[in-house]
Amino acid sequence: MGLRLACFAALAAASAASRADDAPPVPSSIALPAVQVNAVRVGVPAFDVPASISQVDVAPGQAGKPGVNLSETLVGVPGVLARDRQNYAQDEQISIRGFGSRSTFGVRGVRVYSDGIPGTMPDGQGQVSHFSLDAADRVDVLRGPFSALYGNSSGGVVQLWSADGTVPAQTRLGLFGGSNGTYRAGASTRGVDGAMNYNIAVSHFQTEGYRDHSKAERESGNAKLGFDLGQGRKLTLVLNTVSLPSAEDPLGLTRAQFQADPRQATASAFQYDTRKSVHQMQGGLIYEQPLGANDQLRLMGYYGSRDVQQVLSIPPSAQVNPLSAGGVVDLAGHYGGVDTRWTHHGELAGRPLELVVGMNYDAQDQHRQGFNDFVGNTLGVTGALRRDEDDNVWNFDQYAQLYWHFAERWSALLGVRHSVVHFISRDAYVTATNPDDSGGARYTATTPVAGLEYRPDDSLRVYASYGRGFETPTFNELGYRADGGAGLAFGLRPSRSRNRELGMKWQATQRLGLEAAIFRADSHDELAVVRNVGGRSSYQNIGRSRRQGEELSLHGDLGAGWRMRLGFTHVQATFGSPFMTCVSSGCTVPDTPVRAGARIPGVPENYGSLRIERGGDLGWRYGVEATGVGAVTVDDINSGRAPGYALLAADAGYGMPLGQTARLHLSARVDNLLDHRYVGSVIVNESNGRFYEPGPSRGFMLGAQLVF
């Protein structure tokens, strides 16, 4: 850590020296980013907050991308690893500084929000398939200690914000098509009508998939309606829907299968027709009202439903056990919550101060059923009932934050959150050989955070921050006890972490910024797989683990019309304590040691991305992207690694006016320009050794967008 601190100090000193030596000096009135930081709930620019925050503008169809996956927007953002798995039955993999890497589906360890409405359930499991990039204005990514202000499962925070209505109104029709039978059509409109502003977007996406048995179809819609109620009062309505009628799951490959043919699917994927369907609808209301000149009240409420059906590839022999939950998962759930927040702008000791106090309640009620995935000799169909339970989880949290610019060159951000998370399971499937598995667990945590920022001048910020976080098991991790007994694993404890960060932000010019950070997170009671039996994973708490490293970001204008965004991350993610685990699929008693110092699977030591582009809405626009990811270990014992890779992409577009107000944008894009064979993501600790999910070969995408 001492070497990194020395390097950081040298970097800060070099930047300060360059400002002193260069002529002319940076003026004190340098223009800084004006977007306020919703990510930490304070009304100051991200540049003035002692935390690592990236804000990325989203332009539909930009760079020739179809707007399907969140990973399209995160090029050049440090700390974040977003992997498009080419498997829409499992959603994207998103990790931040090594948190969330063990998730085999959905998003785990990272909280996600859309227009302030959680996409993460109270148990910590989330997904981003409902994010609408057609409606988006920007994406905020918060990393480091201040993520703890969001409570359970906050290794980081990703928030998508929809744009407000525009004047004049604008309608966009887009059509994209490309390799592997990929097609996407989208339509959006945004504008202002009296006291109402609106932003409505719908889309249809389908693909044959790069790999065999990976066909998918998805339809989504998003509406954001804002109402000006007068006297500073505002009401925002957000509606969202996503339907995934069917997404085939090709499953992972062994190393030998990947080397032989990366496009293949495993035989069991065809035998069981492994697949998933999802239907989700949600809505939220946000009401804001001033309380005098210096105070504001914000009330948010939301409600949604999510139904999931998934067919797995669990053989009938594994379902002979009377405690087996079968091979077909059927979830019907409802969720919702409220958040109340009071903000005060004032002074303390004659210096500006902002105080935020709030509380939130979130709840999820999920009816979980399991069925055999066979009837007689027919596989991949819904058979006899094997599991029937109601799973409920709710949290009640209180939080407070204080931002104080206590001296001309100094400011502080302090915060604390108290969380209570309750899990309750009521078993309705009780037989002579499968007893009543009902039970519950209660977890609590108080997570303080603190950050201090120094401003040598208007263009440089240096900060340090510290915070504590916690992460409860999800219902998926509680689902199966390590001893093979009946009931949920309510003996699991939440993971707790201590997070430290030292950072620098330098606005080199009015349009070019440099950011660097050194971070370390020490965790204890982290969850790790203890065994895999019958296609189900059981978890255990282990001792210590550590994630530490550095980030670098460079973004802005290079001159002569060129723009860039570069993000690089170095992470050392290791287990600090030895523990025992199972490796083979039939193992019931842990018999394989994991050494202290072993790398946490799924976390590359180095990764980064770069985009350089030139051009605007009209005329030619072109860009180049580069992505690099280091080797990734595939399991806790570090028995194998997915090799690292470097990918190039290029795009070009042309915008032409059509009449007085309309314009047409045409685009072409090539991904994996050099046609490398690579592993795009890994399924960590996969018991059959099918760790590898291949990324696609060279692919093409053509697009056309009409804006009027």
- In tens, the pLDDT along 453-483 reads 999 999 999 999 999 999 999 988 888 888 7
| Rg of the chain over all Cα atoms, to the nearest angstrom | 25
pLDDT band of residue 21 (cuts 50, 70, 90) is: very low
Q: Which residues 6+ apart lie within 8 Å of 349 measured at CB?
A: 406
Do 583 and 528 contact (CB within 8 A), yes or no?
no
Mean pLDDT of 642-671: 95
The CA–CA distances, whole Å, from 380 to 64, 268, 331, 374 equal: 38, 10, 17, 6
CA distances from 435 to 122, 387, 479 (A): 27, 11, 15
682 sits in which H/E element: strand 679-682
Distance CA 60, CA 164 (A): 14
Q: What is the pLDDT of residue 301?
A: 98
Q: What is the CATH number of the domain that holds 264?
A: 2.40.170.20
The tokens describing 680, both together, are: 């795009």
H/E stretch holding 108: strand 107-108
Q: At residue 24, does pLDDT exceed 50?
A: no
Q: Looking at residue 19, what is its pLDDT?
A: 41
266-270 contacts at long range (C-beta below 8 A, 24 or more positions apart): 266/313, 266/690, 268/313, 269/212, 269/213, 269/313, 270/213
pLDDT at 482: 81
Over residues 5-30, mean pLDDT: 39
**Mean pLDDT value of segment 331-338:** 96
In the predicted structure, residue 310 carries a pLDDT above the cut 90: yes
Q: What are phi and psi of 139, to 5 degrees?
A: -125, 130
What is the distance between the alpha carbons of residues 595 and 581, in angstroms, rounded to a whole number? 11
Is residue 56 helix, strand or coil? strand
Both tokens of 73, joined, read 């927007």
Confidence band, pLDDT 50/70/90 cuts, at residue 659: confident
Distant-in-sequence, close-in-space partners of 229: CB < 8 Å, separation ≥ 6: 195, 235
Q: What's the mean pLDDT when you consider all of the chain?
A: 91
Judge contact between 142 and 40, C-beta under 8 A: yes
Q: pLDDT at position 531, please?
A: 84
pLDDT at res. 534: 66
Contacts (Cβ under 8 Å, ≥6 apart) of 73: 56, 58, 133, 136, 139
Are the beta carbons of 546 and 521 closer than 8 angstroms?
yes
Token pair belonging to 368: 């979980």
Q: How many CA atoms lie within 13 A of 48 on its CB side?
A: 21
List 503's β-bridge partners, or say none.
Answer: 463, 517
CB-based contact 202:186 (threshold 8 Å): yes
User: b/e string for 78-110 if b means 16 or more Cβ within 10 A?
Assistant: bbbbbbbbbbbbbbbbbbbbbbbbbbbbbbbbb
Alpha-carbon dihedral 174, 177, 182, 188, rounded to 10 degrees = 0
Q: Coil, helix or strand for 85? A: coil
User: Minimal CA–CA distance to 380: which of 466, 427, 313?
Assistant: 313
List pLDDT tens digits, range 107-120.
888 999 999 999 99
Give the pLDDT of residue 535: 65
Q: For residue 9, is pLDDT > 60? A: no
Residue with tokens 């990976």: 214
Longest dimension (CA), the chain: 84
DSSP 225-248: EEEEEETTEEEEEEEEEEEEEEEE
> What would the pLDDT profile of 315-326 be if each residue is shown by its tens digit?
999 899 888 899
Spatial separation of the C-alpha atoms in residues 425 and 391, rounded to whole Å: 5
For 478, phi then psi, to 5°, come to -80, -10
Q: What mean pLDDT do residues 239-265 have? A: 96
Task: Show the tokens assigned to 425.
Answer: 């399971």
DSSP reduced 3-state for 3: helix
Residues 343, 298: contact at Cβ < 8 Å?
yes
Which one is predicted more confidently, 44 or 447? Answer: 447
pLDDT of residue 481: 85
What is the per-residue pLDDT for 12?
A: 40
Is the pLDDT score of 102 beyond 90?
Answer: no
Torsion (CA) 578, 581, 583, 589 in degrees, nearest 10: 140
**pLDDT tier at 333 (50, 70, 90 boundaries)?**
very high
Full domain range(s) for residue 157: 2-707
pLDDT score for 178: 96
CA distance 249 to 261: 17
* DSSP-assigned beta bridge partners for residue 52: 143
Contact yes or no for 96/497 (Cβ under 8 A): no
Span 577-593, average pLDDT:
86
* Structure-model confidence comparison of residues 538 and 341, the more confident one: 341
Phi, psi of 534 (to 5 degrees): 60, 30
Q: Read off the pLDDT band of 10 (50, 70, 90).
A: very low
Residue-level pLDDT at 127: 87
User: Picking from 10-24, 480-494, 601-615, which range would have the lowest pLDDT averaged per residue?
Assistant: 10-24
Percentage of the chain lying above the pLDDT 70 cut: 94
Which one-letter DSSP state was computed for residue 145? Answer: G
β-pair partners for 201: 188, 222
* Mean pLDDT of all residues in 492-511: 94
Cβ within 8 Å of residue 202, ≥6 positions away: 134, 186, 187, 188, 219, 220, 221, 222
pLDDT band at 36 (very low <50, low <70, confident <90, very high): low
CA distance 212 to 180: 10
Residues present in the chain in total: 708
pLDDT exceeds cutoff 80 at 493: yes
Reading the block at residue 173, the tokens are 């029709």
Question: What whole-number distance in Å separates Cα of residue 313 and Cα of residue 268?
Answer: 6
Does 524 score more than 60 pLDDT? Answer: yes
